[in-house]
Amino acid sequence: MPTKKDNVVIFDTTLRDGEQSPGFSMTIDEKLTLAAQLAKLKVDVIEAGFPRSSPGDFEAVNRIAREIKGPVIAGLARALKADIDSCFDALKPAKKKRIHTFIGTSEQHIKYQMKKTKPEALAMAISAVKRAREYVKDVEFSAMDASRTDRSFLYEILEAVIAEGATTVNIPDTVGYAIPEEFGRMIAEIKENVPNIDKAIISVHCHNDLGLAVSNSISAVMNGARQIECAVNGIGERAGNASLEEVVMAMKTRKDFVKVNTTIATKELCKTSRLLVAITGVPIQPNKAIVGENAFAHESGIHQDGVLKERTTFEIMTPASVGLKKNTLVLGKHSGRHAFRKRLEMLGYKLKADALDKAFAKFKDLADKKKQIFDEDLEAIVGEEMASAKQVFTLEHVQTSSGTSTIPTATIRLLKGRKSFTDSATGDGPVDAAYKAIERITGIQGKLMTYNIRSIGFGKDAVGEVMVKVDIDGDICFGKGTSTDVIEASAKAWLVAINRKAK
Ligand code: KIV
Ligand code: ZN
């Protein structure tokens, strides 16, 4: 991939490293929706998945390759012929495609995981790159666990894969072990010790086990790396990957010091982050840098006073630069389908006709209960519509009774296809009773791990949003539900989580 000296390639791995972590799995349609937004964000490379890992991953990569224009589409492949062949098959329709092949290079990985020797790993890496180059010009090689790899072996393998035609060499801190100064120095030493390194772009892929993924990535860039692998909201294996929005805004805000550019449309950052939350149902912490709810909120009197007098007293970047807008009153009871669709499109959501019909019906229903509808309300409706697209059971009716001297009771009616099922249960409170009634109908038992409730927008008539984390047979499933009735929102959230296991 041709790139200017001071341009850092943003390689997004939300759909691969991010999606493979527990609780973040997405349907193919959801992956396509997110990939379309990543293209609007102008990431340079979308790693769409790992085609050989499952037929679902293959199809997702293939559809993204066919439908998403703009970024390079990459697929992951182990250093095995069958993986590389399958990766190319999946990527075929893409205009710009990259095969990303990897092998563990540290003692721990070669000896204990692969049960091989260094010369065997080296030979596998060389033949993988050779095979990939028979298919495409753009080949990335990753030396997995590079930060714990014996340095002379790392130099040897990098030189060999570049000689074989790898155009990007990735240095992953797979276990999140590196410290920024050390990791930066490592990149500088790779530049000094790999004779043909100028023929490839150096990439980094940092995990966040010590909370240093962003710092390590920036330190690497300051020492010559020109690709960062990162994920929206920092999702990924274990503690996650470097957060895309953080690395991008660090380089933009401190361009005076880091001295590099990216092509990212930063005004799309908040929307992308919110879309991922809407799709997965996994919330981000309020104090998350760049995209958290409080990232631009000035609470203390001194801070508020300062910002009112002069923004730069306490603000290093503007909310507008990351696409954070003030609450806008958008639609009301009398708004039509056309205005509704147009507003959704402005927010970045393109729904298919049937999903649009359902979302519009929900909007009308909400507009009857609530006078003013804000962008956040629309996002909640769309998020719910996306989540319900894969619902086996849908909530038709919920009725609860509770009070200081009443046994809390819930009656629930669910639809499965055209069949409706009704059952009742008692519980510690109306939410507990509703969850027990749902369990009785679906036969799926879950353990509630976390339950969070918040209001979307302002006012006593605001929509309530409930997010739950449920342990179902050891798998963590997330669910989100919204309604002006918080019991209904709670039931919907539980049902979204349960549906992830329903057949
Ligand atoms: O963390 C890692 O090393 C990876 C590689 C496959 C790049 O995800
Ligand atoms: Zn990783």
- CA pseudo-torsion sign 23, 28, 32, 35: positive
> Which tokens sit at 494?
């539980």
- CA pseudo-torsion sign 200, 205, 210, 211: positive
Round to whole Å and give the CA distance between 475 and 473: 6
Contact assessment for residue 253 and residue 317, using Cβ atoms and an 8 Å cutoff: yes
Residue 161: phi, psi to the nearest 5? -75, -30
The CB of 227 under 6 Å from ligand 1? The reply is no
The CB of 172 under 6 Å from ligand 1? The reply is yes
> Which tokens sit at 177?
């072990």
Which ligand lies nearest the alpha carbon of 236?
2
Q: Which atom of ligand 1 is nearest to the CA of 142?
A: 7
Which pLDDT value is given to residue 439? 95
Give the H or E element holding residue 469: strand 463-472
Contact assessment for residue 465 and residue 453, using Cβ atoms and an 8 Å cutoff: yes
Mutation pick for ligand 1 pocket among 13, 45, 102 (CB with most ligand atoms within 8 Å): 102
The CB of 243 under 6 Å from ligand 1? The reply is no
> Three-state DSSP class for 446?
coil
Owner of token pair 């790693």: 47
Q: Which residue has the CA at smallest separation from atom 8 of ligand 1?
A: 17
Q: Which atom of ligand 1 is nearest to the CA of 145?
A: 3
Measured CA distances, 6 to 3, 47, 123, 192 (Å): 8, 23, 34, 19
Which ligand lies nearest the alpha carbon of 227?
1
The CB of 205 under 6 Å from ligand 1? The reply is yes
> Which tokens sit at 454?
């918040």
Q: What is the pLDDT tens value at each position of the chain, 503 positions in all?
A: 656 789 999 999 999 999 998 888 888 988 999 999 999 999 999 999 999 999 999 999 999 999 999 999 999 999 999 999 999 999 999 999 999 999 999 999 999 999 999 999 999 999 999 999 999 999 999 999 999 999 999 999 999 999 999 999 999 999 999 999 999 999 999 999 999 999 999 999 999 999 999 999 999 999 999 999 999 999 999 999 999 999 999 999 999 999 999 999 999 999 999 889 888 878 899 899 999 988 887 667 777 777 777 888 888 999 999 998 755 556 778 888 888 888 888 777 778 888 889 899 988 988 888 777 887 788 888 877 766 656 799 999 999 999 888 999 999 999 998 899 999 999 999 999 999 999 999 999 999 988 988 888 777 778 888 988 888 988 878 888 889 899 999 999 999 889 888 87
The CB of 144 under 6 Å from ligand 1? The reply is yes
Mutation pick for ligand 1 pocket among 149, 161, 207 (CB with most ligand atoms within 8 Å): 207
> How many angstroms does the Cα of residue 236 sit away from the middle of ligand 2?
7
DSSP letter for each residue of 271-314: HHHHHHHHHH-----TT-TTTSTTTT---SHHHHHHHHH-GGGT
Which ligand lies nearest the alpha carbon of 237?
2
* End-to-end Cα, the chain, rounded Å: 44
The CB of 102 under 6 Å from ligand 1? The reply is yes
> Which tokens sit at 331?
């639609």
Contacts of 410 (CB under 8 A, 6+ apart): 398, 399, 400, 424, 425, 426, 427, 430, 433, 434, 436, 437, 487, 491
Which pLDDT value is given to residue 474? 82
Residue 473: phi, psi to the nearest 5? 50, 40
The CB of 271 under 6 Å from ligand 1? The reply is no
The CB of 482 under 6 Å from ligand 1? The reply is no
The CB of 17 under 6 Å from ligand 1? The reply is yes
The CB of 479 under 6 Å from ligand 1? The reply is no
Which pLDDT value is given to residue 329? 54
> How many angstroms does the Cα of residue 205 sit away from the middle of ligand 1?
7
Residue 295: phi, psi to the nearest 5? -60, -30
> Three-state DSSP class for 483?
strand
Which pLDDT value is given to residue 136? 98
> Which tokens sit at 238?
């274990």
Which pLDDT value is given to residue 276? 92
> Which tokens sit at 444?
């799926």
Q: Which residue has the CA at smallest separation from atom 2 of ligand 1?
A: 174
Contacts of 172 (CB under 8 A, 6+ apart): 102, 142, 143, 144, 145, 146, 147, 204, 205, 206, 207, 229
Mutation pick for ligand 1 pocket among 142, 145, 206 (CB with most ligand atoms within 8 Å): 142
Round to whole Å and give the CA distance between 164 and 286: 47
CA triplet 202, 241, 293: central angle to 5 degrees? 130
Write the Ramachandran bin of 70: left for phi over 0, alpha for psi from -120 to 50, otherwise beta. Answer: left
The CB of 174 under 6 Å from ligand 1? The reply is yes
The CB of 105 under 6 Å from ligand 1? The reply is no
The CB of 78 under 6 Å from ligand 1? The reply is no
